[in-house]
Structure 1
Amino acid sequence: MAETPASKPGSRSTRGVLVPLALAQFICSFAGSNMNVMINDISEDLDTTVQGVQIAITIFLLVMAALMIPGGKLTERYGRKQCFLAGLAVYGIGALLSAAAPGLGVLILGNSILEGIGVALLIPPVYILTTLLFTETTSRARAFGAVMALGGIGAAAGPLIGGLITSAVSWRAAFVFQALVIALIIMLSRRIKDPLPPDPTRPFDTGGAVLSAVGLILLVMGILAADDNLWLMVALIVLGALVLLWFFLSVRAKERAGKEPLLSSGLFRNRTSNLGLVTQNVQWTVLMGTSFVVAAYLQVVRGYDAIQTGVVFTAATLGLLVSSLGAARLAKRRAQRTLIMAGFVLAIAGVVVLLAMVSGSPNAWAFAPGLLLIGLGLGVMLTPSVNVVQSSFPEAQQGEISGLSRSVSNLGSSLGTAVAGTILVAGLTTRAYAAAMITLAVLALIGLAAAVFLPRDGESSTLP
């Protein structure tokens, strides 16, 4: 494909396209972590518990993960820009409803359901448009670097910004802030041009969408049930796995019948993409898991308020900002596999430092060195992981792989909050905090192992 005007670095069209796309990723990542510092405020205002707020946060992340694959597929039928704008509108309505929520149920409807649906519609177009509009390797790396930088910063700075707003006004104002950012993105999106026309005749696999969503929901619900009923946890996880198996069998059956399934089975025959998806999942598991565990520990165990908790997270934000902004330069000097491996090593080191320093010091700033290392590590590897996956497929499959990629990443966010949060909430002690962080370190080691097996430049990436 010839290089489009948008792919020329530094041009006005480049900035015009990247600003709304990167801001969209920022606000979605912000929404996934800013509630972590509002746990006490929301619990008291809505007369609920820490577990109730955790459930609201997890459902939001879960809805995103469950609907991201169908959301990516819908872009082919209705157009990338139209799905982007529709998602922004749904998200904005959800944010305003959350701001006015009289109880936990309405908060879940606005934040967890509507905002989750909005993200599932708007995020796949962000990555599809970035891939299609930035065709040259360096400019695409720079574009993904900008998108992922703001995404990572949104997740890491969510506690700080949310803490500032909550302390200065109230937790409800944080949702008004989200609605205002959404309105700004809609205004800026007028400059975006969809490079491919929509195909209204494109079939949509409704049955596959239902099966994939139900399977993912059951899986995470099982993890959330761990602190209440062990047998229920096992039953839900097994049932979720069976539903997902049913989904994959239905995909193969539709392909044999000459029909178009929700996802092509060919997406799973690319070794580079498969390993890249594993690293994406683990990255967001570590990021969101650390955010929830540290924020909950500081507020519930040590009694910090929203602003004190948010300030502690400036270290992670700084680390993500520094390493993400240098992503394009790093991509020129080092292979993507090397960057992903280095990122996991830094993140694991950060968890170890968090465990070592926090257990021996009552000072809140003991969290800073570990969070800084985690932020640096995640910032180094977020962009290359996305680029590895998106660049493994041609234009015709960008809708499918973008939805799958974002679903896997958001499933990681759900699992991070569910797994680490369940361990912490079960005890809400220093020992439970340590157990949750050790669990995240083990998961990071799995991500490092997947990165080690990423093919080197020139190696075949297709499975037999």
Structure 2
Amino acid sequence: MASVTATAGTGRPARPGRVLAALALAQFICSFAGSNMNVMINDISEDLDTTVQGVQVVITVFLLVMAALMIPGGKLTDRFGRKRCFLTGLVVYAVGALLSAAAPGLGVLVLGNSILEGVGTALLIPPVYILTTLLHPDVSSRARAFGVVMALGGVGAAAGPLIGGLITTGISWRAAFVFQALVIAVIVLLSRRIEDPLPPDPTRSFDTAGAVLSAVGLVLVVMGILAADDNVWLMIGLLVLGALVLAWFLHSCRAKEASGREPLLSLSLFRDRTSNLGLVTQNIEWLVLMGTSFTVAAYLQVVRGYDAIQTGVVFTAATLGLLASSLSAERLARRYAQRTLIMAGFVVSIAGVVVLIVLAGSFSTAWAFVPGLLLIGLGLGVMLTPSVNVVQSSFPEERQGEISGLSRSVSNLGSSFGTAIAGTILVAGLSKGAYATAMITLASLALTGLTAAALLPHGTSESGRLTGTGARGARTRR
């Protein structure tokens, strides 16, 4: 097993803190990109002469592109190497951020933010999770490392409204994209001496047809959700068509695997029950996080008339809660089973949604949002790290590219669903009733996550070892 002091052929060791900082900052900026636009809704719509729904589409398509391309992105790391994909993704992302900053209209913003930043994220995020897993072989150190990565990822999502609000109000919404490009430059500097623990394999095949099918299927499903407020029959048609394309994709993967060829997604990944349940919890965690961020930000700005800074300040409560619990991941992992932490996180988050609805509906002050957002942040921070650890650690080194791509795709699909579902409800009628309906919907979906967590094996405290059931199953396949 490689250590975090691996060199990149320079003869000088890459310091552990420098490596982890690069990986965590990468997760931060990608999560930030998914939430900071929530406080720019009014500014962007006025500047680019568009609507709230138009900005929602930009946000949702960005999250969707990430979800659709994350599995292909994970597979490409095996062929071209983790570091090369990571750096390539950073460059593509930076180009997209700068293009977004100069966007004269909604179309260019979609190209820069939704497409290029989405593609860049799909290339750079799988290496973050693969490297974090491979460079930290034991459950305690991995929990600490994932705690830092998930803390900055969660803070990026939760603090995105505040940081974006400050930049938007102080300078302009365009400067927020310049900020992203500057952070990318810092990450590139920190990443120069990172080395792959595993060498790339240029001979690995790539399932192009499978990549197209999976992407098209996911796009159709999310577009179907977005169409709910315009045309119910269009929504049903898109959802059914998306499901059929995804079924075709899975059939294609099964056929390729049976004939000895390498599919984009090996269906054997789904034979591990613990990993499957962990994927469900990951999906719903990010659904709740991004759905809450979009719902509360849109409600504060459109219904209550808050500006970007005021909206961002309200979200500080969620940021502090998430940061405090995420950075305690290593200590919590030593004391409690992963299953216990995930269940506790969902319970606290659901309680936070209930408090948020009750207080925001009873009081007109901004302080009414603080207790609920604090609880939601604490709950999400408690469970984000163990959910990732459960999934990543169910498979051995040689399968980290596959499971990392699948894991990140599932999580980002949850982000897409959260924004699409909540946004659709709000756009249908921006009022107190619509706000409460959106939050109740998120809480109901969180109950599904709680159920999945309860079904995890009771001994899921040592799932952070690569010698678990999933690892044995993977070795048998090979």
- What is residue 53 of structure 2 aligned with on the other side? 51
Which segments of 5 or more consecutive residues in structure 2 lack a partner in the other structure? 7-12, 474-478
- What is residue 327 of structure 1 aligned with on the other side? 329
Q: Given the alignment, which residue of 150, 153, 157 partners 2:152?
A: 150
- What is residue 83 of structure 2 aligned with on the other side? 81
Note the C-alpha offset of 1:191.
2.2
Is this contact kept in 2: 1:271–1:461, CA < 8 A?
no
Note the C-alpha offset of 1:315.
0.3
- What is residue 40 of structure 1 aligned with on the other side? 42
Note the C-alpha offset of 1:365.
1.1
Task: For 2:251 and 2:48, locate their aligned partners in 1 and report how far apart those are by CA, in whole Å.
Answer: 44
Task: For 1:298 and 1:171, locate their aligned partners in 2 and report how far apart those are by CA, in whole Å.
Answer: 18
- What is residue 441 of structure 2 aligned with on the other side? 439
Is this contact kept in 2: 1:16–1:191, CA < 8 A?
no
Is this contact kept in 1: 2:166–2:309, CA < 8 A?
yes
Task: For 2:317 and 2:27, locate their aligned partners in 1 and report how far apart those are by CA, in whole Å.
Answer: 21
1:202 counterpart = 2:204: yes
Is this contact kept in 2: 1:224–1:419, CA < 8 A?
yes
* Amino acid paired to 2:253: V
Q: Given the alignment, which residue of 227, 239, 245 partners 1:225?
A: 227
- What is residue 408 of structure 1 aligned with on the other side? 410
Is this contact kept in 2: 1:277–1:408, CA < 8 A?
yes
Note the C-alpha offset of 1:461.
5.5
1:267 counterpart = 2:287: no
Is this contact kept in 1: 2:5–2:14, CA < 8 A?
no
Secondary structure class of the residue paired with 2:343: helix
- What is residue 358 of structure 2 aligned with on the other side? 356
Secondary structure class of the residue paired with 1:315: helix
Task: For 2:304 and 2:184, locate their aligned partners in 1 and report how far apart those are by CA, in whole Å.
Answer: 34
Residues 61-89 of structure 1, C-alpha deviation per residue, up to 9 Å, x if partnerless? 00000000000000001000000000000
Task: For 2:441 and 2:343, locate their aligned partners in 1 and report how far apart those are by CA, in whole Å.
Answer: 19
* Amino acid paired to 1:356: V
Is this contact kept in 1: 2:150–2:384, CA < 8 A?
yes
Note the C-alpha offset of 1:13.
2.1
Note the C-alpha offset of 1:250.
0.6
Deviates more, 1:134-143 or 1:231-240: 134-143
Is this contact kept in 2: 1:273–1:388, CA < 8 A?
yes
Q: Given the alignment, which residue of 174, 183, 196 partners 1:181?
A: 183
Residues 201-223 of structure 1, C-alpha deviation per residue, up to 9 Å, x if partnerless? 10000011011101000000000
Is this contact kept in 2: 1:3–1:136, CA < 8 A?
no
* Amino acid paired to 1:183: A
How many residues were matched structurally?
459
Q: Given the alignment, which residue of 421, 424, 427 partners 1:425?
A: 427
Deviates more, 1:73-82 or 1:452-461: 452-461
Q: How does 1:14-413 map onto structure 2 within 5 Å?
A: 14-413=16-415
Residues 395-453 of structure 1, C-alpha deviation per residue, up to 9 Å, x if partnerless? 11100000000000000000000001100111000000000000000000000000000
Secondary structure class of the residue paired with 1:263: coil
Note the C-alpha offset of 1:12.
7.1
Is this contact kept in 2: 1:340–1:384, CA < 8 A?
yes
Note the C-alpha offset of 1:310.
0.5
Note the C-alpha offset of 1:196.
1.1
**Distance change >3 Å, CA 170–CA 3, structure 1 → 2:** closer
Secondary structure class of the residue paired with 1:428: coil
Secondary structure class of the residue paired with 2:192: helix
Note the C-alpha offset of 1:4.
5.8
- What is residue 476 of structure 2 aligned with on the other side? none
Is this contact kept in 2: 1:204–1:262, CA < 8 A?
yes
Task: For 2:88 and 2:289, locate their aligned partners in 1 and report how far apart those are by CA, in whole Å.
Answer: 28
**Distance change >3 Å, CA 194–CA 209, structure 1 → 2:** same
TM-score normalised over the length of structure 2: 0.94
**Distance change >3 Å, CA 234–CA 17, structure 1 → 2:** same
Residues 92-132 of structure 1, C-alpha deviation per residue, up to 9 Å, x if partnerless? 00000000000000000000000000000000000001111
User: What is the RMSD of the two structures over their aligned residues, measured on CA atoms?
Assistant: 1.3
Residues 170-191 of structure 1, C-alpha deviation per residue, up to 9 Å, x if partnerless? 0000000000000110011012
Task: For 2:370 and 2:356, locate their aligned partners in 1 and report how far apart those are by CA, in whole Å.
Answer: 8
Task: For 2:181 and 2:247, locate their aligned partners in 1 and report how far apart those are by CA, in whole Å.
Answer: 38
**Distance change >3 Å, CA 224–CA 335, structure 1 → 2:** same
User: After the TM superposition, which parts of structure 1 deviate over 4 Å for at least 4 consecutive aligned residues?
Assistant: 2-6, 458-463
Secondary structure class of the residue paired with 1:352: helix
Task: For 2:50 and 2:3, locate their aligned partners in 1 and report how far apart those are by CA, in whole Å.
Answer: 54
Secondary structure class of the residue paired with 2:243: helix
Is this contact kept in 2: 1:71–1:124, CA < 8 A?
yes
* Amino acid paired to 2:254: R
Is this contact kept in 2: 1:222–1:235, CA < 8 A?
yes
Is this contact kept in 2: 1:46–1:104, CA < 8 A?
yes
Note the C-alpha offset of 1:333.
0.3
Note the C-alpha offset of 1:3.
5.6
Which segments of 5 or more consecutive residues in structure 1 lack a partner in the other structure? none
Secondary structure class of the residue paired with 1:198: coil
Could you tell me the percent identity over the aligned residues?
79
TM-score normalised over the length of structure 1: 0.97
Note the C-alpha offset of 1:5.
4.2
Task: For 1:42 and 1:137, locate their aligned partners in 2 and report how far apart those are by CA, in whole Å.
Answer: 44
